[in-house]
């Protein structure tokens, strides 16, 4: 460098242009204020009805000390809201730059990778922290009722903040690793639940999922352990996200599920060669004479191919049978009682199945639009209804495979409860009808959302939010009859509770 050449100045430590850009864009979007309004309405409506039911009979001096139960529900609502909403806010922060091919350009600026990650991290957490501030008025009400000390309020606020920092860093790391927003979104929800569940063996389920009152010395020690552990994990995850930001900046879009299946194909092929072999389908490279869109879907989507579906279904069935055997080993030999573990397994399988349907349904049209192939598809002499019907072939095959583990859980549940034959028959019929109607509703709701949205990520997020809102309507509105009818989970819950 010559003496006359000007020296490049490094940006100051407090220079955060990317954070200012992120916050300005969020402030200019009407969607930001709609989300805040919806969250606040859900929060105040829920605690309006819950508070009325809790304090209806607690008048005068009898109401003193009831703030503990109220405060525990506030804490649990905030924690569940963070787990549900934060993946949608954080998982697309870096993949959005990758999809627009602007991340390599961002890395050529004066901003170091850790600065980019830190500013993205703070910008993604700000909306969630703003939503969590809606709990302040209800917390004051719970504190005024008694049963809650000021120290408990501060510890609860610190725990919610620590969980937010930890989960936010995990979701940002998923965004830095994945190549698409949809992949980061699914990875954040699925792996995020596993990451959060790993805290239970370190402490206890009561401390991780709730805020026991009044706390004893052991609970205080576990809470302070979380307050030390969660920020440390967040720092480690931010460092991992910084490493992936540069190493995976230009990662190509790959169907990793299909890549995993291809690796498994080699092993299964060797086993088939030794055992004689069983083929679920034969590959044909000839062009179709009819239904070209259906033929394209069957060859393009991994979950539309029978042998891949059988393998995925086999994995789920093995896990379900293992859980069922564990539950059966703990059950009474006389039976006759409903097992909470079976119901939890049934709801978990339903939730995973609904998530797969939403991902597939939202991508039917949104993926064609993002890949700029929708216009070409619309120039064909096929009707719009025909295109949608042929592209939904994956739905029928996924539903056919999903009914096996769900049916296994229902069969074991009827056996353990020693249901009479007629009651078991009615339960099976109601379960089948609920499965068909619920599957069609979830899938076609996702398809309709994908028709309206320009990107797959927005379609996926919107469909999940609509389902969550519809499912929470009965609880928020105090079990209003219209809200109960509109909720997609009503039939499943009534059938499981033997209503």
Spatial separation of the C-alpha atoms in residues 356 and 308, rounded to whole Å? 14
pLDDT at 121: 92
Ranges under pLDDT 70 in the chain: 1-15, 49-65, 251-289, 302-304, 331-341, 475-480, 482-483, 491, 494-499
Contact between residue 405 and residue 317 where contact means Cβ atoms under 8 Å apart:
yes
Contact between residue 9 and residue 108 where contact means Cβ atoms under 8 Å apart:
no
- CA angle 165-170-171, nearest 5°? 100
Which pair of tokens denotes residue 74?
């506030």
DSSP, res 40: H
pLDDT tens digit sequence for 39-63: 788 787 777 766 666 666 555 555 5
Contacts of 230 (CB under 8 A, 6+ apart): 162, 163, 165, 166
pLDDT at 203: 77
pLDDT at 280: 53
pLDDT at 1: 46
pLDDT at 234: 93
Spatial separation of the C-alpha atoms in residues 132 and 156, rounded to whole Å? 12
How many CA atoms, within 13 angstroms, populate the side-chain half-sphere of residue 76? 16
DSSP letter string over 305-328?
A: SHHHHHHHHHHHHHHHHHHHHHHH
Spatial separation of the C-alpha atoms in residues 64 and 303, rounded to whole Å? 57
Contact between residue 86 and residue 175 where contact means Cβ atoms under 8 Å apart:
no
Contact between residue 100 and residue 465 where contact means Cβ atoms under 8 Å apart:
no
pLDDT tens digit sequence for 242-255: 999 888 877 655 55
Query: What distances in angstroms separate CA 209 from CA 56, 77, 198, 248, 291, one per listed residue?
Result: 27, 10, 12, 34, 50
Which pair of tokens denotes residue 4?
């006359």
Spatial separation of the C-alpha atoms in residues 433 and 436, rounded to whole Å? 5
pLDDT at 273: 65
């Amino acid at each position: 460098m010559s003496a006359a050449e000007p020296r490049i100045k490094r940006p100051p430590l407090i220079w955060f242009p990317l954070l200012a850009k992120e916050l300005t864009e969020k402030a200019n979007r009407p969607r930001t204020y709609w989300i805040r309004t919806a969250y606040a309405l859900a929060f105040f409506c829920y605690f309006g009805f819950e508070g009325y039911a809790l304090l209806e009979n607690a008048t005068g001096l009898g109401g003193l000390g009831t703030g503990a139960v109220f405060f525990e529900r506030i804490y649990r609502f905030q924690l569940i809201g963070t787990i549900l909403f934060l993946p949608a806010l954080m998982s697309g922060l870096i993949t959005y730059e990758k999809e627009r091919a602007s991340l390599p350009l961002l890395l050529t600026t004066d901003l170091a990778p850790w600065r980019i990650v830190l500013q993205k991290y703070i910008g993604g957490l700000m909306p969630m922290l703003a939503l969590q501030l809606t709990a302040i008025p209800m917390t004051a009400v719970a504190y005024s009722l008694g049963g809650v000390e000021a120290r408990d309020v501060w510890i609860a606020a610190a725990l919610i903040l620590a969980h937010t920092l930890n989960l936010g860093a995990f979701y940002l790391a998923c965004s830095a690793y994945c190549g698409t927003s949809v992949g980061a979104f699914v990875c954040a929800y699925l792996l995020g639940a596993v990451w959060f569940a790993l805290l239970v063996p370190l402490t206890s389920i009561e401390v991780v999922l709730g805020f026991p009152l009044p706390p004893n010395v052991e609970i205080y020690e576990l809470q302070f352990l979380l307050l030390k552990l969660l920020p440390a994990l967040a720092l480690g995850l931010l460092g991992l996200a910084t490493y992936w930001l540069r190493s995976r900046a230009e990662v190509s879009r790959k169907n990793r599920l299909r890549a995993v299946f291809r690796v498994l194909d080699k092993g299964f092929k060797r086993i088939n060669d030794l055992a004689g072999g069983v083929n679920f389908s034969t590959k044909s490279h000839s062009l179709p004479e009819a239904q070209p869109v259906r033929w394209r879907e069957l060859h393009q989507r991994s979950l539309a191919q029978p042998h891949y579906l059988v393998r995925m279904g086999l994995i789920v069935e093995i896990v379900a049978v293992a859980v069922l055997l564990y539950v059966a080993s703990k059950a009474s030999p006389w039976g006759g009682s409903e097992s909470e573990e079976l119901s939890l397994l049934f709801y978990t399988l339903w939730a995973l199945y609904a998530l797969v349907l939403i991902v597939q349904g939202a991508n039917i049209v949104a993926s064609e639009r993002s890949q700029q192939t929708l216009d070409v598809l619309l120039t064909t002499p096929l009707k719009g209804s025909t295109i949608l019907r042929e592209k939904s072939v994956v739905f029928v095959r996924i539903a056919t495979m999903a009914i096996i583990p769900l049916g296994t859980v229902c069969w074991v549940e009827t056996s353990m409860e020693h249901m009479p034959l007629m009651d078991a028959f009615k339960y099976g019929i109601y379960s089948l009808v609920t499965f068909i109607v619920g599957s069609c509703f979830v899938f076609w709701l996702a398809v309709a959302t994908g028709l309206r949205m320009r990107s797959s990520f927005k379609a996926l997020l919107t469909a999940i939010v609509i389902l969550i809102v519809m499912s929470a309507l009965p609880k928020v509105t105090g079990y209003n009859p219209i809200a109960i009818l509109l909720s997609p989970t009503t039939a499943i819950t009534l059938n499981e509770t033997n209503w």
